[in-house]
Amino acid sequence: MSFALASPAARFTAQRLASILFVASIVLLFSVSSLALGFIGVNYDSVGGSLWQKLHPATYLMALAFAAELAGKSKPFGFIRGLAERLPGAALFFFSWLLLIAYAALVQHAPIAAPIETYFIGFVALLMHDDLRTDTRQFLRRFIHLILFVNAVIGVFEFLTHIRLFPYVIAGEDLTGDYRSTALLGHPLQNAATSAAYMLCLFFGADEALTPIVRAFLIGVQIFGLAAFGGRTSILMSGLIVSGFFLKDFALILLGRKFDIGRLILLMFIAPVVTGAVAYTIALGVFDDLIGRFIDDNGSAEARIIMMKMFDAFDIADLLMGPDPQLVSSTQRTLGIAVGIENTWVAMIFQYGAIMTLFFVVGLFALLWELWRQARPRAVFLFVFFIVIVSSATGLASKTTMFDHFAILLLFMFSNDSPPARKPPSIGGVPGDRNCKAREGEISSNILS
């Protein structure tokens, strides 16, 4: 029995519909935040409400897009069966992901919206990416440039005027005393992580159609956006990565490497202007709140130390299989951890147990490996950035679009124009499609390219 559409014209229509739904899903993902949903009355993050409200509209559109994609295949079940061969890492993730969702529902009796929402769009986007037309990819690339530019501008506006696009409401509480901007993407840490990842993509040469001036301008806007969003880990990590490459290039020039004198003159012109602008705004006190966050983190660092004491409250069996969620919440309140466990991996252990967490993390890193296979050289620094960010916050252990944003940035801003053929790794563990020599010989661009 086959569920494929009989007519080639019908299959073509289904494929076009899949592309339209895919684009609509990405547009909603980047333009409608959880705060916006709460503002219009959708109980997305708040307690109560119907089950359908717990998933983002973009998730529903992406599910419809994948269904239309399958309908457009002449052999949809053959397409699904070929997943393990075409994307072995994604297949491993899918299996571990389904097991995690089942374990959460049947054993831990925990809500399943969070594990579904956190990974669904990024996962399906990877499956559908290669079937998208070139003009569709180009449209999404331009859209990401536009929406993240607008997001940073709105963030700076909110920061300077203290007027928010949407109220900053977490767990039913309006955080009027928090200076950090929320803009289009919602939570300040979500904004900071996505803006910094986008800035690093630009720094390492994403979208070669951009001129050096436009690239430098877009990076500058994101830097000011980062200051408005106030994500300290994102600011520090992206700053360390960029500074490290500048120092390396400067050292190579001192050792005699050739360089473009025109680009050097451009940098010598831009650097004093940017430095002067930043110094002037600091002197005006614009960044006093941000600097204050680095001086006084409101107990955030202390909470990361206190969370390790939670291990003393549970026996080995609980830690391996997953403790009672109510007991975990009670222990958090007792230790004064009000917001959440600020480490993805530790939080997962207390949600699902160490065994299930280890199994799922293996699948997650297999999925990240698939994304890395499609990425440009130096993508490893983006992955290091992402892992550090999610390790410094509740991150992937809660309902978030952080992974989805990261996956979309990699697929449409930082992927190879000609991705390698997908083959399973050899017995020795070296991917057969990696073409390491070609990668070693390829010179990627940075901010000056």
DSSP assignments along 190-246, one per residue:
HHHHHHHHHHHHHHTT--TTS-HHHHHHHHHHHHHHHHHHT-HHHHHHHHHHHHHHH
Residue pLDDT, tens place only, 122-155: 999 999 998 899 999 999 999 999 999 999 999 9
Instruction: Give the lowest-confidence range in 234-238, 367-371, 436-440.
Output: 436-440
pLDDT band at 196 (very low <50, low <70, confident <90, very high): very high
Res. 318: pLDDT tops 70: yes
Res. 423: pLDDT tops 50: no
Q: Is residue 53 part of a domain?
A: yes
Residue pLDDT, tens place only, 199-232: 999 999 898 889 888 998 999 899 989 989 988 8
Q: Is residue 239 part of a domain?
A: yes
Q: Is residue 361 part of a domain?
A: yes
The residue with greater pLDDT, 41 or 144, is 144
- Residue 342 has phi, psi (to 5 degrees) of -85, 55
Residue type (1 letter), 261: I
Task: Please give the Cα distance from 238 to 350 (Å, whole number).
Answer: 30
User: What is residue 263's predicted lDDT score, i.e. its pLDDT?
Assistant: 58
Q: b/e map of 336-346 (b: 16 or more CB within 10 Å)? A: ebeebbbbbbb
User: What is residue 260's predicted lDDT score, i.e. its pLDDT?
Assistant: 62
Q: Is residue 435 part of a domain?
A: no
Instruction: Give the lowest-confidence range in 230-234, 294-298, 422-426.
Output: 422-426
Indicate the number of domains in the chain. Answer: 1
Q: Which residues make Cβ contacts (< 8 Å) with residue 321, sequence separation at least 6? A: 107, 353, 355, 356
Give the residue numbers spanning the domain of 68. 8-418
Mean local confidence (pLDDT), 292-301: 54
Mean local confidence (pLDDT), 72-82: 82
Q: Is residue 427 part of a domain?
A: no
Q: DSSP assignment, residue 449?
A: -
Instruction: Tell me the pTM.
Output: 0.84
Res. 266: pLDDT tops 70: no
Task: Please give the Cα distance from 52 to 242 (Å, whole number).
Answer: 42
Instruction: Give the lowest-confidence range in 97-101, 158-162, 224-228, 442-446.
Output: 442-446
pLDDT band at 20 (very low <50, low <70, confident <90, very high): very high
Q: Is residue 32 part of a domain?
A: yes
CA neighbor of 443 nearest in space, from 223, 230, 195, 260: 260
Mean pLDDT is highest, among 39-43, 60-64, 162-166, 420-424, for 60-64
